[in-house]
Structure 1
Amino acid sequence: MFDNLSDRLEKSFKLLKGQGKITEINVAETLKDIRRALLDADVNFKIAKKFTDDVKVKALGQDVLSAVKPGQMMVKIVKDELAELMGGTFADIKLENKPAVILMSGLQGSGKTTFSGKLANMLKSKKGRHPLLVACDVYRPAAIDQLKVLGEQIKVPVYTEEGNLDPVKIAKAAIQHAKANGNDVVIVDTAGRLAVDEQMMNEISAVKKAINPDEILFVVDSMTGQDAVNTAKEFNDRLDFDGVVLTKLDGDTRGGAALSIRAVVEKPIKFVGTGEKVDALDVFHPDRMADRILGMGDIVSLVEKAQEQFDEEEAKRLQKKLQKNTFDFNDFLKQISQIKKMGNLKDVMGMIPGMGKALKGMDIDDDAFKHIEAIIYSMTPAERENPSLINGGRRKRIANGSGTDIQEVNRLLKQFSETRKMMRMVSQGKNVQRMMSGMQGQGRKF
C-alpha cells in the first residue's frame, strides 16, 4: 500500500541531501516536490497545499542540531504532519452498552457486508465478544446470502427475516433477539446504492433513529480516490457518523482517500481492510501508517500480530527442544503456520523497517511457503522427527513426491540445519558475535 507515494516522498527528501542547513530556498524545492507527490496520490489540492504550508512553517522554525541532517529533520516533520493529517491518535469503537449496536453505511460495492463479517470475527476472536450480524440489506438478495456464508465461516449467528422488506423493523427486532440470546454486540449491515440518493439517505436515517446505535461506521472503497471523500462528506452531513472504514487498501490504491478523508469530514479512520480473508482487517493507527508511508516499517503492529499467535506453553516446549537440539520439521511446520496466520506475507514483511523498499516489485503471495511445505509433507513421520535419516535415496524420493528437484530438497535441509544451530545458540544465550559469524558464513556460501 502507498508504494508510489512512498517512492515520491523518498525522492523529495533527497533534494535536501548534502545540504548544511534548512533554508527557505532549499525547503521550497523539497516541499514543491512533496506537494506534487500528494496530488499524484489523489490527495485533495487544498489539503495538500495546507499540509506543505504547515510543514514549511515547522521546518523553518527548527533549530537543526549539528548531529541531525536537514533531510532527517524534514522526514521527522513530514512524519508528524502525516500522522496528524490522518487523525493524530488511534480512535477505538464504542462498545460500552450491552448490546453495543454498530450501524454500517456506505455505497453499494464499498465492502460493507464483507467488513461486517470481518469486524464480527475480530470482536469475537480478539475481544471475546459474542456478536450478532443483522441482514438489513433487503434489496440485494445476494447480500443476505453473503452475510449468512460469512456467519457460518466465522461461527457467528446471523439475524434475518425472510419476506420482511422493512429494515427498521428488522433492526429493532434483531436488538431484542440479541438481548434474549446473550449477544453483546449487534452489527447491522444496511443497503447501499450505486450513488447517493434521497431514498437511501432517508432509509438509513430512519434506521439510525429507531435503534440509536452506539457507533455508525462509514465504509468506503479506498480505490475510488477523491470520490470517496466527497461521498463521505454527504453521508456525514446526514448521519454524523463516528468513524471511517477504508476497504481494499491492499489494492492498487494511491492513498488519497486515507490522507484526505479525515481532514474533510473530521472523523477518524478506525479500520482498514487489507485483503479478502476474514482476518484481513487492521485497526488504524495514524502514527504507524505515517511510518509505513515513509518506509520506516511498523514494528509495533508486527509485534502485536506475532503476540496474537503466541502460545506460551508452546514456546516453552519449543525452547526445551532447541536446547536439546531436537527441533524437527514438525516444529518447523508449526512455525510456518503461525507466520501465515499473521496475515498477508508481503504486508507483514513490509512492517520491518527498510523491507518495504526491498520488497518493491517483488511478488510475494500467501503461497510463498508451499514448496517448503510440499517437501516436508513428502517426508515420512520418522524423517520429519529425525532429519539425519534423509540420505541420497530418500532425498530423491522426497523431491519426486513434492514435485520439486533434489537441489531444492538439499537447499532446504542445509538451511534447516543452519537455522537449528543458530536458534539453539540463541536459546542457550551464546554470545551474539558467534551467531553473527555464522550468519555471515551462510551469506558467503549462497
Structure 2
Amino acid sequence: MFESLTQRLTGTIDRLRGRGRLTEENISDALREVRVALLEADVALPVVIELIRRIKERAVGQEVLASLTPGQSLIKIVKDEMTAVMGSEASQLNLNVPAPAVILMAGLQGAGKTTTVGKLGKFLKEKHRKKVLVVSADVYRPAAIAQLETLAKQVGVEFFPSSTDQSPIAIARAAIEHARKTYADVVLVDTAGRLAIDTAMMAEIKALHAAIDPVETLFVVDAMTGQDAANTAKAFREALPLTGVVLTKLDGDARGGAALSVRYITERPVKFVGIGEKPDGLDVFHPDRIAGRILDMGDVLSLVEEVHDKVDKEKAAKLADKVAKGKKFNLNDMRDQLEQMQNMGGLHGLMDKLPGMGKIPDNVKGQISGKEVPRMIAIINSMTEKERRNPGILNGSRRKRVALGSGQTPADVNRLLKQYQQMETMMAKFSGGGMKGLMRGMKGMNSLMGMRGKMPF
C-alpha cells in the first residue's frame, strides 16, 4: 500500500540524508518535492498546506540545522507531523456503557459496509471477548440481509433476522430489545447505502440514529477513492454525529491520500482499516505505524502482533522442541511454516510491514503475485508422506510426478527442495549451536528471504 507516495517521499528524503549540513534553501527544495508528492497522492490540499507548514516550522529551526544528523532529524519531523495529521494515536471504541453498546454503520454503497460489520463482529468477539449481535437495516437490497447472515455464521456472532417489508427503525429497535433479553454486549447495525449522497438517504439515517441513539456512529469509506473519501466523510459528518471512520480496501490504496486526509478534514478519528476480503482483515488504525509505512520504515510492531495472533503456538512449540532435540526438519515442517506465513498474508503481507521495501525495484516487486506460498504448499502436498519425511528419496522421476501433480515444473520442485535444504541446514545449526548457530545458519538464507531473486513461483 502507498507505493507511489512512499517512493516519492523516500527518494526526496534520501537525497538529504547524506548531507553533512542542511540549510533553509535545501530544506525548502525538499519540501517542495514533498508537496508535489502529497498532491500527486491525492492528499487534500488543506492537509498538504498544513503538513508542509508544520514540517517547515520545525525543520528550519535549531532542531534540524544544529543536529549532528540533520537528514535523520528531518525524517523524524516528517514522520511526527504525518502522524499528528492522521490523529497521533489509535482511537478506541467506546464500549464502556450499559449493555448493549449500539454501533451504527453508515456509508455509501460499495464501500464495504456489510463486510466491515462482519469483520468488526469478529474483532469484538475475539479481541474484546464480547457477545455480538449483528442486524441489517438495509431494506432496499435483499442480498445485503443474506450477505450479513452468511458473514455472521462465518465469524461466529449472532445474526438478528430482518426483511425488506420492515422499516429500518423497527428492525433496529427489535434487534436492540433482543440483545437486552439475550445479554448481548454489542449490537452492530448495518444500514442502507446509496451510489451517491442524497437527501432521502440522509433523512432516513438521521431518523434511525435519533431512534436508537448509538454510542458509536462509524462512517465506512473506500480508501481507494482518495481525496473523495475525505470529502464524502465530511458530508456525512455534517449530517450525522460521527464518532469515527473506517477506511476499507487500504491494501489497494497505492496513493495514500485518504489515510492522510480523512482525520484532518472530518475532525473525526480513523478507528479501523480494512484489508482484503477475509473476516480477519480489520486492523486498529495506528497513525504512527501508517506514517512509518509511508516513509518506508516498515511496521514491525504490527508484524509482531500479527505473529502473536496468527501463528499456531502449539505447532511452533513442537517444532522448537523438535529442533532443540536434534531431530531432522522435514517437508511436513516446512509446509507448516509456509501455512503460517500464508495466514499472515503471504509474501505480500510480510513485505508490506518490513522496512526498506520502497527501495526494492518495481520489476522485482512486480514478480510477487501472492501465489508463491500456495504453489509451494501445493508442491509439498503432491508428495507422498514418505517423500515428505525423507526428501532424499525424491529422484528425477519422483520430482517429475510431483511437478505434474501440483501443476508446476520440475524446475519449480527443484527450487523448493533447494530452499528446504537451506532451511534444514539452518535448523541443524540451531540445534547444534544455540542462537549463535542459528545466526550462522541465517547467513545462508538470503535467497529465501531476499526478495526471491531465484524464486519465480
TM-score (norm. length: structure 1): 0.93
Contact 1:13 1:75 in 2 (8 A): yes
Contact 2:82 2:291 in 1 (8 A): yes
The aligned counterpart of 1:187 is: 188
The aligned counterpart of 1:135 is: 136
Contact 1:247 1:274 in 2 (8 A): yes
What are the ranges of 5 or more consecutive residues in structure 1 without an aligned counterpart? none
1:390–1:11 CA distance, 2 compared to 1 (3 A): closer
- The 5 A counterparts of 1:102-251 are 102-251=103-252
2:421 corresponds to 1:417: yes
1:437–1:311 CA distance, 2 compared to 1 (3 A): closer
1:326–1:43 CA distance, 2 compared to 1 (3 A): same
- In the TM superposition, what whole-angstrom CA distance separates every residue of 1:288-322 from its partner, at most 9, and x where no partner exists? 00000000100000010011123443222111221
1:356–1:30 CA distance, 2 compared to 1 (3 A): closer
* CA-CA distance at 1:397 after TM superposition: 2.6
**Residues of 1 paired with 2:120 and 2:173: CA distance?**
20
SS at match of 1:101: strand
* CA-CA distance at 1:162 after TM superposition: 2.2
* CA-CA distance at 1:4 after TM superposition: 0.9
2:318 corresponds to 1:343: no
- In the TM superposition, what whole-angstrom CA distance separates every residue of 1:336-372 from its partner, at most 9, and x where no partner exists? 1111111364133221111243274424344222331
2:382 corresponds to 1:378: yes
* CA-CA distance at 1:272 after TM superposition: 1.0
* CA-CA distance at 1:54 after TM superposition: 0.8
The aligned counterpart of 1:92 is: 92
Contact 1:225 1:254 in 2 (8 A): yes
The aligned counterpart of 2:308 is: 307
1:204–1:391 CA distance, 2 compared to 1 (3 A): same
Contact 2:6 2:358 in 1 (8 A): no
One-letter amino acid matched to 2:336? K
- In the TM superposition, what whole-angstrom CA distance separates every residue of 1:6-57 from its partner, at most 9, and x where no partner exists? 1111232244355332222111111111111111111122221121111111
**Residues of 2 paired with 1:191 and 1:127: CA distance?**
27
RMSD: 2.4
**Residues of 1 paired with 2:267 and 2:144: CA distance?**
30
* CA-CA distance at 1:102 after TM superposition: 0.9
The aligned counterpart of 1:435 is: 441
* CA-CA distance at 1:123 after TM superposition: 2.0
SS at match of 1:147: helix
**Residues of 1 paired with 2:261 and 2:45: CA distance?**
10
One-letter amino acid matched to 2:441? M
- What percentage of aligned pairs have identical amino acids? 50
Contact 1:9 1:34 in 2 (8 A): yes
1:344–1:286 CA distance, 2 compared to 1 (3 A): farther
Of 90-99 and 49-58, more deviation after overlay is shown by 90-99
One-letter amino acid matched to 2:354? I
1:365–1:151 CA distance, 2 compared to 1 (3 A): farther
- The 5 A counterparts of 1:51-66 are 51-64=51-64
- In the TM superposition, what whole-angstrom CA distance separates every residue of 1:386-413 from its partner, at most 9, and x where no partner exists? 2233334433332332233333223222
1:15–1:440 CA distance, 2 compared to 1 (3 A): closer
1:64–1:377 CA distance, 2 compared to 1 (3 A): same
- The 5 A counterparts of 1:291-370 are 291-323=292-324, 324-343=326-345, 345-358=347-360, 360=362, 361-370=365-374
Of 241-250 and 351-360, more deviation after overlay is shown by 351-360
- In the TM superposition, what whole-angstrom CA distance separates every residue of 1:401-428 from its partner, at most 9, and x where no partner exists? 2233333223222221221221232355
**Residues of 2 paired with 1:213 and 1:202: CA distance?**
16
One-letter amino acid matched to 1:387? P
1:312–1:22 CA distance, 2 compared to 1 (3 A): same
Contact 1:291 1:297 in 2 (8 A): yes
Count of paired positions: 445
Contact 1:113 1:189 in 2 (8 A): yes
1:202–1:4 CA distance, 2 compared to 1 (3 A): same
* CA-CA distance at 1:174 after TM superposition: 0.2
* CA-CA distance at 1:268 after TM superposition: 0.7
SS at match of 1:313: helix
The aligned counterpart of 1:26 is: 26
Contact 1:275 1:344 in 2 (8 A): no
1:44–1:312 CA distance, 2 compared to 1 (3 A): closer
Of 377-386 and 63-72, more deviation after overlay is shown by 63-72
* CA-CA distance at 1:257 after TM superposition: 1.7
1:430–1:202 CA distance, 2 compared to 1 (3 A): closer
1:264–1:322 CA distance, 2 compared to 1 (3 A): same
Of 405, 408, 412, which aligns to 2:409?
Answer: 405
The aligned counterpart of 2:273 is: 272
Contact 1:221 1:247 in 2 (8 A): yes
SS at match of 2:368: coil
Contact 1:340 1:366 in 2 (8 A): no
**Residues of 1 paired with 2:447 and 2:63: CA distance?**
45
What are the ranges of 5 or more consecutive residues in structure 2 without an aligned counterpart? none
**Residues of 2 paired with 1:389 and 1:400: CA distance?**
17
* CA-CA distance at 1:430 after TM superposition: 4.8
- In the TM superposition, what whole-angstrom CA distance separates every residue of 1:239-277 from its partner, at most 9, and x where no partner exists? 221111111112254221211111122111111112122
1:390–1:117 CA distance, 2 compared to 1 (3 A): same
**Residues of 2 paired with 1:182 and 1:344: CA distance?**
39
2:39 corresponds to 1:39: yes
**Residues of 2 paired with 1:128 and 1:236: CA distance?**
30
1:206–1:43 CA distance, 2 compared to 1 (3 A): same
1:320–1:190 CA distance, 2 compared to 1 (3 A): same
Of 203-212 and 288-297, more deviation after overlay is shown by 203-212
One-letter amino acid matched to 1:139? Y
**Residues of 2 paired with 1:102 and 1:363: CA distance?**
42
